[in-house]
Structure 1
Amino acid sequence: MDLNTIEDVRDARSREPWRPGDAWLAGGTYLFSEPQPRLRRLIDLSRMGWEPLTRHPDGSLEIAATCTITQLSRFGRRFLDAPAAVLFEQCCRAFLASFKIWNMATVGGNLCHGLPAGPMISLTAALDGSCLLQAQDGSTRLVKAADFIRGAGVTDLAEGELLRSVTLPGRALECRTAFRQASLYGLGRSAALVIGTLDPRDGSLTVTVTAATTRPFRFRFPLPPAAEHLRATIDSAVSGPEWFDDIHGLPEWRRHMALRLAEEVRRALDPAHGPREGAR
C-alpha cells in the first residue's frame, strides 16, 4: 500500500531529531499494510548494520530488532545447538505468512506492533528475553519481553524510543520446550498460543500464555504443578478483559483453549508423566 501522507524518508544513521509524525522503518510489512494517516516521515533502520544474531560467550543469544524471520528461522534450524532451538521454527511458522513476508518482516517489528498473536512476542517472552531500548539521547534501558507488551497494540516504548535488540539467556536456551497453538481456521491467526519450558538445572516449569490474552502472561513454578494448581494460577492472574476479543475468537473460547493447551504443555514436560509428544 502506498502511504500518501509520507513526505520524507531518512536514514537512521543521520541521527536527526525526532519529531511528531515520525516512525521507525524496519521491514515495513505492517507499516505498508494499512493507512498510516498520522505519519509524515519514516526513519529507515535497514542500513544500521546490526548483526542479526549474536551468540555471546555466556551462552546468551542477542537478536537484533532488524533480524528478519527468515534469518531467525535459518539460525534456529542450522546453527543453534540447544534444546530450545526447535521453538524458533515453531514460532516462525506461527506467522503463516508468505516467503516474501518472511524475508522482510523483522523480529523487532513484530514486537513493536504489539499484536497479541505476534509469535515473536511468544518466543521472546517464553524464553525470558530482555529488550534493549534506546532513547533519542542515546541512553538505554532493559525491559523483560513479557513486560514490554502492555496490552493489545500497546508497548513500553516512549516517544522516539527504539527497540535495539532482544537477548535470550543461555539458561533458557537449554530448556526442554513444548509448543501448543490453536486457531479458528487451519491457516488462521493464532487465537491461543502456549509455550512451556522445563529447566534441567532445577526442574522448574514455566508456562507462557499469549495470543489468547491482550499481553503475555508468564507463570513460573519451582516444580511442575498439579493440573488444578496450574488452572487456578492462570485464572487468578488473567482477568476478564485481558482475554482478547476479536473476530479470531471470543474471550470465553480463548480462555478455554488456553487452559486446555496449558494442561497439554504441563503433561508434556512433567517428568512424572514421562516423555510426551510435542516436548523437545
Structure 2
Amino acid sequence: MDLNTVTDVRDARLREPWRPGDAWLGGGTYLFSEPQPHLRRLIDLSRMGWEPLVLHGDGSLEIAATCTIARLSRFTRTPGTVAGPLFEQCCRAFLASFKIWNMATVGGNLCNGLPAGPMISLTAALDGECLLQAQDGSLRRVKVVDFVVGAGRKDLAEGELLRSVTLTGRATACRTAFRQASLYGLGRSGALVIGALDPVDGSLAVTISAATVRPFRFWFPLPPDAEELRDAIASGIDENDWFDDIHGLPEWRRHMGFRLAEEVRRELTRPTQEGAR
C-alpha cells in the first residue's frame, strides 16, 4: 500500500534526531499493509549491517531485530540445537507467503505486539531478553514476556529501538513441545502453547500466547501434575486477559489454552524412548 503521507525515507546510520511522525522501517510488511496517516518519515534499518544470527561462545543466540523469518527458519538445521524444530514451527505459524517470509523481520513481529505474533511466542517461551536502544544511545534489557504488555502494546519509549533478542544456550538446549489452534484451516492462531523442559534442572516452562492479550509464561521448578498446571493458569491469567476478536471468542481461547497446555505437559513429562529402555 502506498503511504502517501510519508515525504522522506532516511538511512538509520545517519542517526538524525527523532521527530513526530517518524517510524522505524525494517521489513515493512506491517507498515505497508494498511494506511498509516500519522507517519511523515521512515527511518530505514536495512543498511545497519547487523548480523542476523550470532551464536556466542557461551551457547547463547542473539537474533537481530532485522533478521528475516526466512533466515531464522534455517536455524532449525543448526547441529546440536535441541530446540531447533521449535524455530521452524513458529515460523510456519505465520502461514505467510515466501515473499513475506523474505521481508518480515523478527523485530517487527515483536514490536507490533499482536497476540498472534509467533516470534513473540517463540522468544517468550525460550525466556528471551530484548536489547533496547534509546535515542541517546543508552541501552536497557527487558524480558520478552515483559516487553509485550498488551494487544498491540509494548514497553517501548518514543524513538526507542529494539536492537536484538537473546536466547541463552540453556534455553536453546531445551526439549520443546508446540501446539497451535485456529478456527480455520489456514487461519490466524487462536491459541499457541509452547512447553520447554530444561535439560539441567528438569524445570518446565509453559507459555500461552495468541489466546491471550500478551504472552504468559508459567515456570515450575519440577514438572507439575495436571491440577497444578491448571491452577497456575487459572490464577495467573485474568478473565480480561483472554483475547477477543474475529478469530476466536475468549471462552473458546480459554478452553484451548487449558487443553493445549495439558497436551504440552503430557508430551514433555512422558518418558522418552531412551529413558524407557
The TM-score, its normalising length taken from structure 1, stands at 0.96
Q: How far did 1:240 drift?
A: 1.1
Q: How far did 1:275 drift?
A: 3.5
In structure 1, C-alpha distance between the alignment counterparts of 2:36 and 2:115, rounded to whole Å: 20
Partner of 2:60: 60
1:9–1:41 contact (8 Å) kept in structure 2: yes
Q: How far did 1:241 drift?
A: 1.1
Q: How far did 1:74 drift?
A: 1.3
Partner of 2:101: 102
1:68–1:107 contact (8 Å) kept in structure 2: yes
Partner of 1:174: 173
Q: How far did 1:274 drift?
A: 1.9
User: 4+ residue stretches of structure 1 with deviation over 3 A?
Assistant: none
Q: How far did 1:76 drift?
A: 2.1
Q: How many aligned positions are there?
A: 273
Deviations 1:213-258 (A, max 9, x none): 0001000001111101101110111111100000000000000001
In structure 2, C-alpha distance between the alignment counterparts of 1:122 and 1:74, rounded to whole Å: 18
Question: Structure 1 residues 24, 239: CA separation in 2 closer, same or farther (over 3 Å shift)?
Answer: same
Partner of 1:113: 112
Partner of 1:83: 82
- Report the 3-state secondary structure (helix = DSSP H, G, I; strand = E; otherwise coil) of the residue aligned with 1:208: strand
Q: How far did 1:149 drift?
A: 0.1
Partner of 2:150: 151
1:133–1:161 contact (8 Å) kept in structure 2: yes
Partner of 1:274: 271
In structure 1, C-alpha distance between the alignment counterparts of 2:134 and 2:153, rounded to whole Å: 18
Partner of 1:253: 252
Partner of 1:6: 6
In structure 2, C-alpha distance between the alignment counterparts of 1:76 and 1:194, rounded to whole Å: 19
Partner of 1:202: 201
Deviations 1:123-154 (A, max 9, x none): 00000100000000000000001111000000
Q: How far did 1:75 drift?
A: 2.2
Counterpart residue type for residue 10 of structure 2: R
Task: Give RMSD over aligned pairs.
Answer: 0.9
Deviations 1:175-233 (A, max 9, x none): 10000000000100000000000011111000000000000100000111110110111
Deviations 1:48-83 (A, max 9, x none): 000000000000000000000000001222x25211
Structure 2 unmatched ranges of 5 or more: none
1:268–1:275 contact (8 Å) kept in structure 2: no
In structure 2, C-alpha distance between the alignment counterparts of 1:103 and 1:75, rounded to whole Å: 15
Counterpart residue type for residue 263 of structure 2: E
Partner of 1:17: 17
Counterpart residue type for residue 182 of structure 1: A
Partner of 2:263: 264
The TM-score, its normalising length taken from structure 2, stands at 0.97
Partner of 1:216: 215
- Report the 3-state secondary structure (helix = DSSP H, G, I; strand = E; otherwise coil) of the residue aligned with 2:102: helix
- Report the 3-state secondary structure (helix = DSSP H, G, I; strand = E; otherwise coil) of the residue aligned with 2:111: helix
1:62–1:167 contact (8 Å) kept in structure 2: yes
